């Protein structure tokens, strides 16, 4: 399907699903018809930008700039082929064999990626968050996670999406509501679409000096400098045939503390991803093995992560929240030009 056809199909599907628009502050939008895979839909608008946030997994489902869909997205009746657009909690990426030690005990969470014997992308990919506030340009969603098998730590999460003249920004807040310290991490799994059929011509600028080497199960086995490798995108260049399902760290930052990723999309809107200091890691995936029947390499995800892959095992970037403590992480997309 061409990019134009994808945009038309998505717009039609969102309209049919009854996207909630411009509700008064404090008002919860009406749910879409039964059977919608992504739960309630919340529309935000400002200037050139129209955003749709889905309740299931606090998903950034759509971002349109002057009518152009920027994201590799899916219709609300499609379960999304996995993780596209989702807020990942309470850990991003993988836990090796689903087993980790914390607080003097060893815990086992469910294996959700059997082919690699890993626990992938947390516990909240198919739960619906409740709307707390919804205005024309802002929505706040909340989810209370009870103690879970292998993760006995009650948490409350809030995800705020807001739209302004530049683009869309997100803030994820976690609060430990339990009586003991809790391990924690988060990421976002949004894909930026190729404006053509493949991402090969996208020009990527990635401000990372170090990447993670992995085994054949994508578990880190060490780090290495990007200099002199195919993973060095510190100077903007075409993605070309480069394939990545790769984590990066040692991010260069601007004076305000943000690290900036730029994606120039021939034939479409160019995009910046800006992440705050809470996000010390980026996972880049070039969409080489998509789930379902769609063609490969139609989009690229640069996932802001607060910790490294397998951090529950290694402690690399792991956040530990004391009882009552909060953690806040922010990222945003800007449209260039």
Contact 143, 124 (CB under 8 A): yes
Tokens of 282: 């980026």
**Rounded (5°) CA angle 256-262-266:** 155
Sequence spans of domains, the chain: 3-336
Contact 155, 122 (CB under 8 A): no
How many Å apart are CA 78 and CA 21, to the nearest integer?
A: 21
The predicted pLDDT at position 337 comes to 78
Segments of the chain scoring below 50 in pLDDT: 1-8, 11-13, 15-18, 21-35
Torsion of CA 25, 30, 35, 39, to 10 degrees: 10
The predicted pLDDT at position 22 comes to 43
How many Å apart are CA 333 and CA 103, to the nearest integer?
A: 37
Contact 59, 53 (CB under 8 A): yes
Q: What is the phi-psi region of residue 309: left when phi exceeds 0, alpha when psi lies from -120 to 50, beta otherwise?
A: beta
Beta-sheet pairing, 20-21 with 41-46: parallel
The predicted pLDDT at position 75 comes to 81
Beta bridge partners of 173: 158, 328
Longest Cα–Cα distance in the chain: 54
Beta bridge partners of 60: 53
Tell me the CATH class for 3-336: mainly beta
Tokens of 140: 């706040």
Within the chain, residue ranges assigned H as helices are: 3-17, 311-314
Whole-angstrom CA distances from 17 to 34, 143, 167 are: 9, 23, 24
């Amino acid at each position: 399907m061409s990019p134009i056809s994808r945009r038309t199909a998505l717009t039609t599907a969102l309209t049919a699903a009854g996207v909630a628009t411009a509700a008064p502050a404090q008002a919860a939008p009406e749910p879409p018809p039964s059977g919608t895979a992504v739960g309630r839909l919340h529309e935000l608008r400002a200037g050139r930008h129209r955003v749709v946030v889905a309740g299931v997994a606090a998903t950034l489902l759509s971002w349109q700039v002057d009518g152009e869909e920027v994201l590799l997205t899916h219709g609300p009746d499609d379960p999304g082929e996995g993780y596209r657009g989702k807020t990942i909690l309470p850990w991003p990426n993988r836990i090796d064999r689903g087993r980790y030690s914390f607080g003097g005990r060893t815990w086992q969470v469910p294996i959700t990626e059997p082919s690699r014997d890993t626990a992938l992308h947390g516990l909240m990919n198919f739960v619906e968050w409740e709307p707390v506030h919804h205005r024309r340009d802002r929505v706040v969603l909340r989810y209370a996670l009870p103690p879970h098998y292998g993760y006995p730590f009650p948490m409350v999460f809030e995800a705020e999406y807001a739209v302004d003249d530049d683009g869309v920004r997100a803030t994820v807040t976690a609060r430990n509501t339990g009586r003991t310290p809790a391990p924690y991490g988060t990421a976002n799994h949004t894909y930026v679409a190729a404006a053509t059929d493949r991402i090969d011509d996208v020009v990527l600028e990635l401000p990372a000096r170090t990447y993670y080497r992995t085994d054949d199960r994508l578990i880190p086995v060490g780090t290495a400098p990007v200099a002199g490798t195919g993973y060095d995108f510190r100077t903007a260049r075409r993605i070309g045939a480069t394939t990545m399902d790769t984590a990066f760290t040692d991010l260069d930052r601007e004076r305000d503390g943000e690290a900036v990723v730029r994606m120039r999309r021939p034939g479409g809107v160019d995009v910046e991803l800006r992440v705050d200091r809470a996000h010390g890691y980026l996972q880049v995936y070039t969409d080489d093995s998509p789930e379902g029947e769609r063609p490969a390499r139609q989009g690229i995800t640069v996932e802001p992560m607060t910790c490294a892959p397998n951090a529950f095992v290694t402690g690399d970037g792991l956040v530990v929240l004391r009882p009552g403590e909060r953690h806040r992480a922010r990222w945003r997309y800007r449209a260039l030009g």
